[in-house]
Structure 1
Amino acid sequence: MKLWLFRIIAISLPLLLLVLIEFSLRWLFPAEPLPLFKSNPANPAYLVTESQIVKRYFPQGAQVPRVELEPSFVLQQKPADGIRLVVQGGSTAAGYPYGMGAALAGMLEQRLRRTFPERPVEVVNTALSAVNSYTLLDFADEIIALKPDAVLIYAGHNEYLGLLGVGSNYLAATSPRVTRWLLSLRKLRSFQLLEQAYQKLSPLPETSSGNSRTFMAQVARDKNISLDSPTFQAGIQQFNGNMRRLLARYQAAGIPVYISTVVSNLADQPPFQSLPLNASQQQQLQQLNSLSQPAQQQQIANALAQEAANSGHALLHYQLGQWYRQQGQSDLAKQQLAQAREHDLLRFRAPLAINDQIKALAKQHAAILVDSEAAFIANSPQGLVGNSLMLEHLHPNVQGYFLLADSFYRALYQQQAFSSWPNPVPADIAWQERPLTPAEEHAGYLRILQLTADYPFKAAPEPVQFPEPTAYSEQLALAHVQGKLDWLSMQSQLVQYYHQQRNGDMLLKTLLIIADALPHNGQANLQAAQILLQAGRKGEAKHYLQRALRTHPAPPEAQRLIQTL
């Protein structure tokens, strides 16, 4: 007995000493915590997401990428009859370059609120640009604490060249297990102080915080990740390991997960990095377009296809895909264009193996698969996903974002999530009511001009030439992108403009967008409720009046109106 007691004391003393050191350091050298959700200072009834959450992954004082989480609000106390969803993912899930209105959370919340007018609906966004499966896993416990009715995931493009990606300048460790271990240790104050001391001795490379280059221009360390290379396989293993843990955690908590396949631009995005075409290949491609005999064309095409397959030549695959596309041979075009993406050495687009992993993981962990890629294919000319739905290599345009949100909406409806659906909203009505103003849509277009003026779309950064505005909304968008006008001021000026123009539909849409962005603002939500009542939409008006009444002081008019419902 004494021997066992001695052993317990021998083991416990070092642990107690470490705990004592940790708490002493927290008291002597306090640090601001970075929870994913914090109390909203404007209204304590709500939590709000931490916009600077990316700082979690860097030592204090280090330069960090200019990546921010858009504010998303959630009630501290979930209503008994409330519907609460949480969205996880990268820049596409976050709605880049348009913002929250195009985000999965924004589009779904607007449509679900119309579907369930008598129930409080919250779709909480935790997606942000550049992050990958490490961040999704890191957020899991805080998301579980919200007790969501489901978690929606759209992720997979950033495993190679995102934060902590295997080919990224922001790599923490080459081993996923070590990286996860480091992320856990970074929560300790003792480890944070050691990390800061190390950083002073060995500063991290300068990031985009110090200049105007885009994140894509800063992040790529490994620009030559060939298919099935060790680095390629490491990215797949990293994604599988993190997502397997993430889905298992939600499964253990009894939280349904809807996980989507990811989509990229096959038809109109050339490989970012490839071997150049040699003289013989160029000559044969020219012959394909000049010969008039189909048999001769097919002979050359077959030879080039075999050569591309043997050499893994991404650009040759792409050019062949374009030729098949012009010939109307969509199946062969898709095969070649898919191989062009697979052999693109600069991996800003997820390879096929990521979607294979998503489908397998969904089966293994009883998650609901949302096949967004299939929806994009079905809605693309010749079944080739390209510029009709995409802005560049992987971000959808407004139509594409609507299609992505529609895929999740349909999956939720098919599963009859949240019990019966009293008022399913048809896609055409949801499209007309999409929560984006023309100014936001134009601002997104301008941001893409900025993105594509730098690496990897250009070898060196080029000056951005914005087009002259042709409408008032475009003037506001330009001022917003140039930093001369904040988002709320842009929307408020649109409200005045639509009121002057007597455009009731756009006035209603814009007031609702402002109210949803500011749930803690009583006056904004009262205005939204008033215009909804004028439109005869009492169920939705009640939601905004209830939000107005949670503010301090609550508008007296909100109390009067809610008593009339």
Structure 2
Amino acid sequence: MRVWLFRAIALILPLLVLVLAELAIRATGTGDNWPLFKVNPANPAYLVTEADIVKRYFANNTALPSVKMEPAFLLAEKPDNAIRLVVQGGSTAAGYPYGAGASLAAMLEQRLSRTFPEQRVEVVNTALAAVNSYTLLDLADEIIAVKPDAVLIYAGHNEYLGLLGVGSNYLASQSPAVTRLLISLRKLHSFQLIEQLYQQMNPMLETTAENSRTFMAKVARDKDIALDSAQFEAGLKQFDSNLSRLLAKYQRAGIPVYISTLVSNLADQPPFHSKPVPAATRQQLAQLAQTSPNTATYAELLQALTTAATAAGSAELHYQLGQHFLQQGKATLAKQQFLLAKEHDLLRFRAPEAINQQIRQLAERYNATLVDSAAAFTANSPQGIPGKGLLLEHVHPNVQGYFLLADSFYKALGREQALGSWQKPVPSEIAWQERPITPAEEHAGYLRILQLKADYPFRDEPVNVQFPVAQTPQQQWGQAYVEGKLDWLSLQNRNAQYYHQQGNGDMLLKTLKIIADALPHDANANLQAAQILLKAGRKAEAKGYLQRVMLTPVATSVAEQDSRQQAQQLLSTLAL
């Protein structure tokens, strides 16, 4: 008996020492907490997402690219009649390069609010550029705590070259289990202190030139991840391991999940890095382009080139063959070659098709709803091959593409009759007209893509970007926004003022709603949106904005109190 007692003490004592050390370190204020949701200081009735959430994954003085989460607000106490969805994913789910207006959260919230006008709709964005399945899994418990009615996932492109990816400069460990353990340990202030001491003894510095590079230029450590290689399989294992745990968590919590297949630019994105095409094969390609398709020579050349591409695993050769078939009007053959080009691209900024297969299998295994966005993009692309008509570069959609992505989720929710009775579904045409993004933001996105394509992997060396001369006030403001001369709210206020002066009621309504939806805790913004909605005869929607105004704390500014009084009067009028 005494032996077992001593053994128990021997086991418990070190743990007790660690717990006491952790509490002591926290008491001194050493270390940081990076919760996903924190109380909004401007209005404690709301929580707001932590912009610097990525810092929880790295030691304090680790040099990281600037990656921030767009602020999203949700009520600290979820109302009984509320609809709350949470979006998880990487930069595409977050709406890059346009910002929050093109995100899944904003596109869906705008449309669902009109679908369920009598209910409060919150679609909360937790998507963040550059992250992968480790971050999705790490945030799951905090997402469960805010009681979402469903979680929407669009993720998978960053498993190889995102933060903590298997081929990334920001890799923590080759083992998914060890990486998950490190993520958990970094929440301990004592562990953070040890990391800081280590970093001080082993400083990591970046040059000014490196700091000016895009994230894609910084992140890629391994540029030759061949199809079916050990590292390729490690990326698939990482994704399956983390997503299995993620979906199991939501399943146990009784939270429905909608998970989407991934979309890549096939027709208009050449491979980033490929095994070389021999000179003799290039000559055959040139000869093929000059040979009549209805000849034996053409058939022989085509057979030789197809065999060479398969044998060599050359992404570039597959892509050239795809372009040739496309020019010949052979769309099926062209798509096959474009897919092979993506699969054999050694620089894996695009998810391989194996990840889409995993997504389908995981959805079935954990009873999640599959949203087949890949099929939607195929159906809406010329000759069924996604390209520049819907995508800006390798994976990020243009505005039409982002709308199609959100539309895929909206229709999946509708088919499931999720969230309640879909008595007033919003047609795509109306939702497109009311998309929550302004021309100034669209121009800003265009300029950000120019910046992105001016560096690796689109170019071997960075080049200076020359923005085109702005032709409209919106383009001027969009450029000022990109250059940091205007913040987002100032940009939208200029839009509102301009549309008011021009007498453009539709765009003024859209802009005021965009501001109010982004800042639900702002009494004046929501009162303005409600007033213009009332003028448009949209009383049910206006009521929702007025109810937001009434959530402003009593001890606020005179202006906010005035907004509360006006909102109360308008609500009383609506009740009559």
Instruction: Judge same fold: TM > 0.5, yes or no.
Output: yes
State the match for 1:465 in structure 2: 466
State the match for 1:181 in structure 2: 181
State the SS of the aligned residue for 2:259: strand
Identity %: 67
State the SS of the aligned residue for 2:94: coil
Determine if the alignment matches structure 1 residue 67 to structure 2 residue 67. yes
State the match for 1:218 in structure 2: 218
More moved, 104-113 vs 478-487: 478-487
Determine if the alignment matches structure 1 residue 534 to structure 2 residue 543. no
5+ long unaligned stretches in structure 1: none
| Alignment check: 8 A CA contact 2:31 2:193 kept | no
Kindly tell me: are residues 506 and 208 of structure 1, through their superposed partners in 2, closer, same or farther at Cα, counting changes over 3 Å? farther
For residue 432 of structure 1, what is the amino acid of its counterpart? Q
Kindly tell me: are residues 547 and 372 of structure 1, through their superposed partners in 2, closer, same or farther at Cα, counting changes over 3 Å? same
Residue 494 of structure 1 and its aligned partner are, at CA, apart by 0.9
Determine if the alignment matches structure 1 residue 477 to structure 2 residue 486. no
Kindly tell me: are residues 375 and 233 of structure 1, through their superposed partners in 2, closer, same or farther at Cα, counting changes over 3 Å? same
Pairing 1:355-370 to 2, within 5 Å after superposition: 355-370=356-371
State the match for 1:311 in structure 2: 312
State how far apart, in whole Å, the 1-side matches of 2:131 and 2:208 are: 15
State how far apart, in whole Å, the 1-side matches of 2:396 and 2:172 are: 26
Pairing 1:300-449 to 2, within 5 Å after superposition: 300-449=301-450
Residue 30 of structure 1 and its aligned partner are, at CA, apart by 2.6
Pairing 1:47-58 to 2, within 5 Å after superposition: 47-58=47-58
Kindly tell me: are residues 207 and 105 of structure 1, through their superposed partners in 2, closer, same or farther at Cα, counting changes over 3 Å? farther
State the SS of the aligned residue for 1:448: helix
CA displacement, residues 497-545 of structure 1 (integer Å, 9 cap, x when unaligned): 1111100000000000011111111010000000000111111101100
Determine if the alignment matches structure 1 residue 40 to structure 2 residue 43. no
State how far apart, in whole Å, the 1-side matches of 2:471 and 2:203 are: 47
Kindly tell me: are residues 328 and 210 of structure 1, through their superposed partners in 2, closer, same or farther at Cα, counting changes over 3 Å? closer
Residue 205 of structure 1 and its aligned partner are, at CA, apart by 5.6
State how far apart, in whole Å, the 1-side matches of 2:494 and 2:140 are: 39
State how far apart, in whole Å, the 2-side matches of 1:207 and 1:448 are: 24
Residue 471 of structure 1 and its aligned partner are, at CA, apart by 1.1
State the match for 1:92 in structure 2: 92
State the match for 1:134 in structure 2: 134
State the SS of the aligned residue for 1:152: strand
State the match for 2:147 in structure 1: 147
State the SS of the aligned residue for 1:395: coil
State how far apart, in whole Å, the 2-side matches of 1:185 and 1:207 are: 30
Residue 490 of structure 1 and its aligned partner are, at CA, apart by 1.0
Residue 283 of structure 1 and its aligned partner are, at CA, apart by 1.4
State how far apart, in whole Å, the 1-side matches of 2:91 and 2:135 are: 13
State the match for 1:514 in structure 2: 515
| Alignment check: 8 A CA contact 1:208 1:214 kept | no
Pairing 1:217-256 to 2, within 5 Å after superposition: 217-256=217-256
State how far apart, in whole Å, the 1-side matches of 2:191 and 2:342 are: 40
CA displacement, residues 255-310 of structure 1 (integer Å, 9 cap, x when unaligned): 00000001010000000001233221221111222112423323312211111011
State how far apart, in whole Å, the 2-side matches of 1:416 and 1:547 are: 27
Kindly tell me: are residues 208 and 382 of structure 1, through their superposed partners in 2, closer, same or farther at Cα, counting changes over 3 Å? farther
More moved, 161-170 vs 469-478: 469-478
Q: Normalising by structure 2, report the TM-score.
A: 0.96
Residue 29 of structure 1 and its aligned partner are, at CA, apart by 4.5
Q: Normalising by structure 1, report the TM-score.
A: 0.98
State how far apart, in whole Å, the 2-side matches of 1:207 and 1:241 are: 36
State how far apart, in whole Å, the 2-side matches of 1:274 and 1:208 are: 30
State how far apart, in whole Å, the 2-side matches of 1:446 and 1:272 are: 21
Residue 199 of structure 1 and its aligned partner are, at CA, apart by 1.2
State the SS of the aligned residue for 2:470: coil
State the SS of the aligned residue for 2:123: strand
More moved, 125-134 vs 207-216: 207-216
State the SS of the aligned residue for 1:294: coil
State the match for 1:80 in structure 2: 80
State how far apart, in whole Å, the 1-side matches of 2:207 and 2:422 are: 48
| Alignment check: 8 A CA contact 1:48 1:72 kept | yes
Tell me the number of residue pairs that the alignment of Structure 1 and Structure 2 aligns: 565
| Alignment check: 8 A CA contact 2:169 2:221 kept | yes
Cα RMSD for the two superposed structures: 1.3
Residue 114 of structure 1 and its aligned partner are, at CA, apart by 0.5
State how far apart, in whole Å, the 1-side matches of 2:380 and 2:370 are: 19
Determine if the alignment matches structure 1 residue 451 to structure 2 residue 452. yes
State how far apart, in whole Å, the 2-side matches of 1:275 and 1:339 are: 13
Determine if the alignment matches structure 1 residue 563 to structure 2 residue 572. yes
State the SS of the aligned residue for 1:563: helix
For residue 102 of structure 2, what is the amino acid of its counterpart? A
State how far apart, in whole Å, the 2-side matches of 1:270 and 1:235 are: 22
Residue 204 of structure 1 and its aligned partner are, at CA, apart by 3.6
State how far apart, in whole Å, the 2-side matches of 1:489 and 1:293 are: 58
State how far apart, in whole Å, the 2-side matches of 1:14 and 1:467 are: 64
For residue 222 of structure 1, what is the amino acid of its counterpart? D
State how far apart, in whole Å, the 1-side matches of 2:268 and 2:135 are: 30
More moved, 191-200 vs 346-355: 191-200
CA displacement, residues 212-246 of structure 1 (integer Å, 9 cap, x when unaligned): 21000100000111111111111010000000000
State the match for 2:270 in structure 1: 270
State how far apart, in whole Å, the 1-side matches of 2:149 and 2:329 are: 45
For residue 81 of structure 1, what is the amino acid of its counterpart? N
Residue 168 of structure 1 and its aligned partner are, at CA, apart by 0.4
State how far apart, in whole Å, the 2-side matches of 1:485 and 1:3 are: 70
For residue 260 of structure 2, what is the amino acid of its counterpart? S
